């Protein structure tokens, strides 16, 4: 049964009754399932509609074609009178987007959403109205693609980040959202010439940073390359023109070499009993440009601007073809990659090798079978194009896993900008493959460390990670992993993430999980500290925190806009609210527990410092206080309580904040190790450092860090960071170091850079 045409070139235009206000949903549109081809003769929509109809007729049922036709008529009426900057009727844009999706054989819901994807954004039509006419699925897809223009944001960048956040989370629920958005971006890039130059550059940059990597992550290789080329042309028009001219010139110079390689491959494979399709391909301009930029090469130094693709019948034949080619030309060592045995994260599979062809010209070769070729070109869209492909199972699992990771990121990141940055880390394809002790392969971003692997295995493994063994050797956690490393993670039951890990982890999952843990811990500790500070302030007013009536807290929350009592306490602990002010506002209308006692008669209780407070209470990095030092505390906004020695230079600079100073004391029975910095001036003779280290070791101390002044003559200044228990222990260490004859002067050191 053949499907009825979606349009007819000779169809009459819609009657005047259909030309409606964009904010009104026309009831009469369902009566005409056909798309009138002659509605907009200036841009020759008839030809576009005819091509679109032909694509739909190849795979959609007649009833689905009728529904898509209704969506077109609806969209055209909603956008009636709207024009693109190029002067074309606006309906030409959603039609182009839907045509791209039809090329991927997407279903009727996606095509309807593509035709309607701008009506919520550009007209007064609502999601509920779309759901009523075209179903809930199409309405959800349109909502996922629509921007958040009606929400106020602090800046354009924040608005864009929030839009991406919404779009990516909608994509996690239904991958068709991002396919519609990518097709939308493709047509916008194809028609970008009508925009102002600065806007063209901004949109092109955004495409290179976000949309092209997403297309690559989903395996849409053809779309990925086209977006890159279009973005490169608009972001760097002069470079694009110069490079394009150079490549055209090189075609003539290198045609003989390319043809010779192509002919040799086409003879060698049949001679080895291999039936294959062999294609020569020119590298894309952006790929050449990026290679020149990253490796600091001139165009004449980029020899491999041509590559060759070989498609064979099955997987074993891929390896047979590889052997035949390596016998034909010399392979370049280290340039072979087996993406068949270890596919890329987006499901891509091929063998890659580089051969030295005639006249020393390198030739890049890709070898794959037909199934791999479909997935390499269409990626996740293969789900609709080639539903019988067994290889799609693995691709769908990988895509689903990545999409679910977006949902996890959403729950552990703070604002939209942080979420977007985390996603961008995972969008760029450079990967390193490592093995667990049981032989399981993990793909991680290049530059990843054992901490990244620990979080890739499980969040609990990452949180409790304390050490690692790489290829059976104990190595630091910040060690950069290389392809093929065997990595074993060592955990401890009471371990916790270290804030320093954020300085070297690469994966978005690890970064978001560490931040989530630290933020949670900071809130808990800040709330506990805030409770102590508020309790002291209330005692000055003759009140007890535990006996405050609930009405006082309710009144304060309503007046201040605080979310909860715990949030107020956390803000106090972080220095965002002053405890005295909060106490006075809470005390309004509350009778003191002991009204006869004057506030001045109530002694403050000093906060006890035991050295392991964590995030909310920290020891100053400038003066590094240790038990036995006279100390003072300072509440600073967003930092919590920072403890300094009483003579720290930072305290003198912060006299204006005296109202934020807090009484603190060391815990009487304090234990543990603290860091202390010392400066030692020594005569520059051989072996002096070894003698100093031996003296430190004899006093049961450990050297955390050591550095020296670069200017060294007869005397050298050494800086040590040592682990000590208290001032008495430090004094013993200094005495031991003074016994070294070469020591000229030794003092405790305060780092001026930390003030």
Q: Find the catalytic residue in 38, 50, 107, 121.
A: 121
Place of tokens 């401890």: 492
User: Is residue 477 within 8 Å of residue 501, measured between CB atoms?
Assistant: yes
User: Is residue 691 within 8 Å of residue 721, measured between CB atoms?
Assistant: no
Distance in angstroms (rounded) separating the CA atoms of residues 251 and 388: 40
Q: Which of 223, 180, 164 is CA-nearest to residue 406?
A: 164
**Tokens matching residue 35:** 């798309």
10 Å Cβ neighbour count for 132?
12
Q: Find the catalytic residue in 50, 64, 122, 377.
A: 122
Alpha-carbon distances of 231 from 234, 235, 276, 525, rounded to whole Å:
5, 6, 34, 47
User: Is residue 37 within 8 Å of residue 50, measured between CB atoms?
Assistant: yes
Alpha-carbon distances of 461 from 453, 455, 468, rounded to whole Å:
9, 6, 12
Alpha-carbon distances of 45 from 7, 49, 57, 101, rounded to whole Å:
11, 6, 18, 18
Quote the longest CA-to-CA distance of the chain.
107
| 121 labelled catalytic | yes
Distance in angstroms (rounded) separating the CA atoms of residues 265 and 278: 8
**Tokens matching residue 470:** 């790489």
Beta partners for residue 706, in sequence order: 720
Distance in angstroms (rounded) separating the CA atoms of residues 45 and 37: 6
Distance in angstroms (rounded) separating the CA atoms of residues 207 and 227: 7
Strands 617-619 and 351-356 come out as unpaired
HSE, CB side, 13 Å, CA atoms: give it for residue 174.
Answer: 19
Place of tokens 């239904």: 174
Query: Which are the contacts of 73, defined by CB distance < 8 A and separation ≥ 6?
Result: 14, 18, 29, 32, 35, 36
| 742 labelled catalytic | no
Distance in angstroms (rounded) separating the CA atoms of residues 219 and 385: 13
The catalytic residue positions are: 121-122
């Amino acid at each position: 049964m053949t499907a009825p045409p979606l349009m007819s070139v000779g169809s009459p235009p819609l009657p005047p009754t259909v030309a409606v206000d964009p904010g009104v949903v026309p009831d009469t549109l369902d009566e005409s399932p056909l798309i009138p081809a002659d509605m907009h003769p200036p841009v020759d929509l008839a030809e576009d509609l005819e091509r679109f109809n032909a694509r739909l007729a190849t795979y959609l049922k007649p009833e689905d074609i009728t529904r898509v036709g209704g969506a077109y008529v609806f969209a055209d009426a909603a956008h009636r009178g709207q024009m693109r900057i190029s002067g074309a009727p606006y309906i030409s844009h959603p039609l182009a987007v839907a045509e791209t999706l039809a090329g991927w054989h997407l279903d009727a819901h996606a095509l309807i959403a593509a035709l309607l994807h701008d009506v919520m954004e550009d007209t007064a039509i609502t999601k509920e109205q779309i759901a009523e006419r075209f179903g809930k699925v199409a309405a959800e897809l349109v909502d996922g693609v629509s921007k958040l223009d009606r929400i106020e944001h602090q800046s354009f960048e924040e608005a864009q980040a929030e839009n991406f956040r919404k779009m990516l989370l909608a994509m996690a629920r239904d991958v068709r959202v991002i396919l519609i958005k990518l097709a939308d971006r493709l047509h916008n890039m194809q028609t970008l010439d009508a925009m102002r130059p600065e806007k063209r550059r901004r949109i092109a940059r955004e495409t290179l940073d976000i949309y092209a990597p997403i297309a690559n992550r989903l395996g849409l290789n053809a779309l990925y390359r086209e977006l890159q080329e279009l973005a490169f042309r608009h972001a760097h028009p002069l470079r694009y023109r110069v490079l394009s001219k150079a490549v055209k010139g090189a075609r003539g110079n290198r045609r003989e070499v390319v043809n010779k390689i192509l002919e040799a491959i086409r003879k060698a494979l049949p001679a080895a009993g291999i039936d294959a399709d062999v294609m020569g391909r020119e590298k894309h301009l952006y790929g050449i440009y990026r290679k020149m930029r990253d490796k600091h090469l001139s165009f004449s130094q980029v020899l491999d601007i041509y590559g060759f693709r070989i498609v064979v019948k099955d997987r074993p034949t891929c390896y047979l073809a590889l052997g035949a080619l390596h016998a034909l030309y010399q392979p370049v060592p280290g340039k072979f990659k087996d993406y068949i045995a270890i596919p890329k994260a987006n499901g891509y599979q091929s063998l890659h090798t580089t051969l030295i062809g005639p006249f020393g010209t390198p030739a890049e070769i890709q070898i794959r079978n037909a199934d791999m070729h479909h997935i390499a070109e269409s990626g996740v869209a293969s789900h609709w194009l080639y539903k019988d492909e067994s290889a799609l199972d693995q691709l769908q699992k990988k895509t689903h896993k990545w999409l679910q990771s977006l949902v996890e990121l959403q729950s552990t990141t703070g604002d939209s900008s942080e979420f977007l940055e985390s996603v961008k880390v995972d969008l760029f394809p450079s990967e390193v493959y490592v093995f667990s002790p049981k032989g399981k392969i993990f793909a991680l971003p290049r530059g990843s460390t054992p901490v990244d692997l620990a979080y890739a295995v499980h969040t609990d493994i990452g949180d409790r990670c304390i050490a690692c063994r790489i290829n059976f050797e104990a190595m630091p956690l910040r060690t950069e992993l290389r392809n093929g490393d065997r990595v074993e993670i060592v955990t401890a039951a009471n371990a916790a993430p270290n804030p320093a890990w954020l300085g070297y982890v690469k994966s978005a999952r690890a970064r978001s999980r560490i931040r989530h843990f630290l933020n949670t811990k900071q809130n808990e500790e800040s709330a506990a500290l805030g409770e102590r500070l508020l309790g002291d302030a209330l005692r000055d007013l003759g009140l007890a925190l535990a006996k405050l009536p609930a009405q006082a807290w309710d009144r304060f929350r309503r007046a201040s806009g605080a979310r909860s009592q715990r949030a107020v306490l956390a803000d106090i602990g972080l220095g965002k609210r002053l405890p005295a002010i909060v106490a006075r506002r809470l005390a309004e209308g509350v009778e003191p527990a002991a009204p006869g006692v004057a506030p001045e008669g109530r002694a403050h209780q000093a906060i006890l410092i035991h050295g392991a407070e964590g995030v909310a209470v920290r020891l100053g990095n400038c003066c590094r206080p240790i038990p036995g030092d006279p100390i003072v505390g300072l509440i600073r906004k967003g930092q919590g309580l920072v403890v300094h020695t009483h003579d720290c230079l930072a305290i003198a600079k912060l006299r204006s904040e005296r109202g934020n100073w807090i009484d603190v004391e060391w815990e009487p029975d304090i234990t543990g190790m603290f860091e202390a910095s010392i400066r030692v001036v020594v005569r520059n003779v051989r072996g002096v450092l070894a003698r100093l280290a031996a003296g430190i070791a004899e006093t049961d101390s450990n050297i955390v860090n050591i550095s020296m002044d670069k200017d060294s003559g007869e005397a050298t200044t050494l800086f040590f960071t040592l682990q000590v228990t208290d001032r008495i222990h430090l004094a013993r260490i200094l005495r031991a170091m003074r016994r070294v004859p070469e020591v000229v002067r030794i003092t405790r050191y305060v780092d001026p850079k930390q003030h």
